């Protein structure tokens, strides 16, 4: 061993370092005494390791696909928050100015509601198409996107499809909510539930998917109609969803839209002509 002379105390850290050095020297001395090469033994120890073979390996995730999925969900989220309440505000504006009474003299309530949803939806879709085409085109041209063109274009196309589904779903609810009130100041109270249903899936998606792309919770929620328009484009872009899950979510969303067409049309038709105080949802549903 070694002898160390100190003034008062060596200290724990330096003691550990010198102990390791002494043991290494002792090991090399024993190897040399047995006729071995300490340097060769040291290299063999340093290069030793374990070769692991996984029977069910985790699939590798492409960072570009993760980014594409999160961006798709984010754009849909922003567009729904902008144009969804715009539908409700437009309904309230027509109701306040009594323009709706003139319009309903020549067309049916559901036709007016459908035209409003369609008109605002075309504008919103046009913006997303422009952003998607320019963004993906630049990403592919510069090589920054880093994924095949077919996957990128397919993800954008499916995201636009889900946006149409989501906008139809939420726009119908916003139109019905707007018909319940007669002042813009009251719009926040009736549109808050829809806005919450848009925010919740987006927050869950950006919080969970970057660290756990195969999250079972997100995959289940992505099938639920009110969450699907935002979460499903995310998991499609990432590539962590099966085809049958996409088809099931789409089928459930279309069924929910069909229910909303009847439900929102009834609320809109019964409440849009009533000015003054706020119309309760129960009253709008059972009014003749």
Domain range list for the chain? 65-286
Dihedral sign for Cα 252, 253, 256, 261, please.
negative
Q: Judge residue 95's burial from the number of C-beta atoms within 10 Å of its C-beta, 0-12 exposed, 13-18 middle, 19 or more buried.
A: buried
Dihedral sign for Cα 144, 147, 149, 152, please.
negative
Write the Ramachandran bin of 107: left for phi over 0, alpha for psi from -120 to 50, otherwise beta: beta
Q: What is the pLDDT of residues 239-276, one digit of tens each?
A: 778 889 999 999 999 999 989 888 888 887 777 777 76
Q: Give the pLDDT confidence score for residue 74 in this predicted structure.
A: 87
Q: What is the pLDDT of residues 138-153, one digit of tens each?
A: 777 776 666 677 777 7
Q: Give the pLDDT confidence score for residue 287 in this predicted structure.
A: 57
Residues of 169-204 as b/e, b for ≥16 C-beta within 10 angstroms?
bbbbbbbbbbbbbbeeeebeebbeebbebbeebbeb
Q: Give the pLDDT confidence score for residue 276 in this predicted structure.
A: 67
| CA 160 – CA 229 distance, rounded (Å) | 10
Q: Give the pLDDT confidence score for residue 227 in this predicted structure.
A: 93
Nearest to 171 by CA among 286, 260, 47, 267: 260
Q: Give the pLDDT confidence score for residue 47 in this predicted structure.
A: 85
DSSP states of 50-84 as a string? -----SSPPPP--HHHHHHHHHHHHHHHHHHHHHH
Q: Give the pLDDT confidence score for residue 144 in this predicted structure.
A: 65
Q: Give the pLDDT confidence score for residue 195 in this predicted structure.
A: 92
Largest interatomic CA distance in the chain: 108
Is-contact 191 85, C-beta < 8 A?
yes
pTM over 0.75: no
Q: Give the pLDDT confidence score for residue 136 in this predicted structure.
A: 75
Radius of gyration of the chain (CA): 32
Give pLDDT < 70 ranges for the chain: 1, 57-63, 100-101, 143-147, 276, 284, 287-288
Rounded to the nearest 10 degrees, the angle between the axes of helix 63-96 and helix 109-142 is: 150
Is-contact 228 165, C-beta < 8 A?
yes
Is-contact 38 192, C-beta < 8 A?
no
Q: Give the pLDDT confidence score for residue 91 in this predicted structure.
A: 82
Q: What is the DSSP letter of 185?
A: G
In the block, tokens 């008109």 appear at 119
Q: Cα-flanking dihedrals φ and ψ of residue 89, to 5°?
A: -65, -35
Q: Give the pLDDT confidence score for residue 288 in this predicted structure.
A: 47
């Amino acid at each position: 061993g070694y002898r160390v002379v100190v003034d008062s105390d060596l200290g724990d850290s330096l003691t550990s370092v010198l102990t390791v050095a002494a043991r290494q020297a002792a090991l090399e001395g024993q190897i040399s005494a047995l006729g071995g090469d300490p340097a060769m033994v040291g290299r063999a120890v340093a290069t030793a390791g374990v070769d692991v073979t996984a029977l069910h390996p985790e699939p590798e995730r492409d960072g570009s696909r993760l980014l594409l999925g999160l961006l798709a969900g984010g754009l849909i989220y922003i567009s729904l928050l902008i144009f969804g309440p715009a539908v409700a505000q437009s309904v309230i504006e027509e109701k306040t100015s009594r323009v709706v009474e003139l319009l309903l003299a020549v067309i049916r309530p559901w036709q007016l509601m459908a035209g409003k949803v369609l008109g605002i939806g075309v504008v919103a879709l046009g913006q997303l198409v422009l952003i998607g085409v320019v963004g993906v085109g630049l990403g592919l041209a510069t090589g920054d996107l880093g994924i095949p063109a077919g996957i990128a274009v397919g993800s954008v196309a499916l995201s636009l499809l889900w946006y149409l589904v989501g906008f139809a779903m939420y726009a119908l609810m916003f139109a019905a909510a707007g018909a319940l009130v007669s002042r813009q100041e009251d719009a926040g109270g009736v549109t808050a539930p829809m806005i919450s249903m848009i925010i919740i899936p987006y927050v869950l998606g950006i919080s969970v998917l970057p660290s756990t792309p195969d999250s079972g919770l997100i995959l289940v929620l992505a099938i639920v109609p009110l969450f699907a328009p935002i979460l499903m484009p995310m998991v499609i872009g990432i590539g962590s969803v099966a085809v049958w899950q996409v088809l099931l979510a789409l089928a459930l969303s279309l069924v929910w839209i069909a229910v909303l067409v009847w439900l929102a049309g009834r609320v809109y038709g019964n409440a849009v002509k009533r000015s003054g105080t706020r119309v309760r949802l129960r009253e709008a549903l059972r009014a003749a």
